[in-house]
Structure 1
């Protein structure tokens, strides 16, 4: 089954972002999958996801994006690699 296309931007408080980034850093450091809830939808990021940082400038604004990208096939390979963190509430 293919996931429906989605393009959302969700704003969070500084405390919420800090908590999400700490969990992401822990997952990256231990080569584990990462789960996150964004705008009401839970997303599982496989350990093999590619991480990039983008910088954009234009029209009097600047933007930095921290981006994780993976194929759906990569996500399926990690499905069996459940961790205790997967059973905890997603922040």
Structure 2
């Protein structure tokens, strides 16, 4: 939970990742600059020492990939293929 009451998801990246700090920060900049209704918002990150942490908007009920592609029936949300295509390739 963020200070303003917003629910957030925290992703801690592996310390064994071979991604360097420069690549990580470039990726953060790209993610932060993208605003789209179908993407979660990046609220913040940590890049201290070998710690790599991302703070995203919280999504309930599985991941987008599980929802779009299915994961053996664990998602309660069902989209038609044309809808999935529109989500992945907006005009």
State the TM-score, normalizing by the size of structure 1.
0.35
Give the greater-gyration-radius structure (CA): 2
State the TM-score, normalizing by the size of structure 2.
0.35
More strand by share: 1
